[in-house]
Amino acid sequence: MGAAADKCAHFRALHESGCFVLPNPWDVGTARYLQGLGFKALATTSAGFAFAQGIADGAVPRDRMLAHIREIVAATDLPVNADFEGGYADETAGVAESVRLCVETGVAGLSIEDSTGDDVHPLYDFDLALARVRAARAAIDKAGGKVIFTARSEGFIRGRPDLAETIRRLKAYADAGADCLYAPGIRTRDEIAAVVKAVAPKPVNLLMSTASGLTVKDVAAMGVRRISVGGTLARVAWSAFIRSAREIAEQGKFDSFAGTMPNTELNAFFRDDFKRRSS
């Protein structure tokens, strides 16, 4: 797969039937390893990248995030979906400008949230949230309309777990031109089924890290088209690192090193990957 247009076409086709997993790398190495495992597409993670930079999720400036997205896009032959947070603006003009810049990185998809970052008022008022979706849609259309646009309603992870309101928002976002709908934090079979039914035939993305106990086969049977894991793979890596570092610092022991992947295996993978990319 080569040009951005080809990646966009492939990514769009993935949403038309079946169910695929969209794992979230946070640097070049993890992107290339995930490609090597045979995944069909990748997505950035704002949290995973932020933690790697020593910054809290949501605190990475727009230009720095755009540079990261561009780096991940260049690192892989696969389509990349950008976790583009809230579009780095409150008002519609700012969202549109941010979306334009994100499209220029070569992404095949991007998502925009309806969360404000304010704990007291965690979601944009409905009318403004809808206007922001329309602005993002218009910006993508102006750029050629190939990039898959995912609209996210964040109530379930922002302290407002109201299924009826979430569905109201997602249906409105779908009508306003979102290609894919996403309500991170829904986790029960009933919640997932309700969201899928409400926005059908448009595809739904499920955040699997909050839908514990379910398999790809389970959620595919419920009509979910796309599964992502957000920052969870990054947190898996952080968890192993922290456990090992604490064992060394607090106990003076190195038992946690047992069972780790040897350098030779990683060297072989990245050496072969480099040869493939250079040929």
Q: What's the pLDDT tens digit per position in 79-105?
A: 999 999 999 999 999 999 999 999 999
In this predicted structure, the answer to whether residue 210 has a pLDDT above a threshold of 70 is no
Q: What is the mean pLDDT of the chain?
A: 96
Q: Out of 3.20.20.60, 3.40.50.150, 2.60.120.260, 3.30.160.20, select the CATH number for domain 4-231.
A: 3.20.20.60
pLDDT at 227: 97
**Integer angstrom CA distances of residue 277 from 70, 79, 81, 223:** 17, 16, 21, 36
- 81 strand-pairing partners: 43, 109
Confidence label for 48 from pLDDT (cuts 50, 70 and 90): very high
Count other C-beta atoms under 10 Å from residue 103's C-beta: 23
Run of H or E including 176: none
Total count of residues recorded for the chain: 279
**Integer angstrom CA distances of residue 64 from 16, 97, 138, 204:** 33, 16, 24, 29
pLDDT at 243: 98
Q: Give 144's DSSP letter.
A: T
Domain range annotation of the chain = 4-231
Confidence label for 185 from pLDDT (cuts 50, 70 and 90): very high
Span 165-190, mean pLDDT?
A: 97
Confidence label for 2 from pLDDT (cuts 50, 70 and 90): low
pLDDT at 242: 98
Confidence label for 3 from pLDDT (cuts 50, 70 and 90): confident
The percent of residues in the chain predicted with pLDDT above 70, rounded, is: 98
Span 109-135, mean pLDDT?
A: 97
Q: Per residue in 60-82, pLDDT tens?
A: 999 999 999 999 999 999 999 99
pTM of the model as a whole: 0.96
10 Å CB burial of residue 12 (0-12, 13-18, 19+) is middle
pLDDT at 209: 76
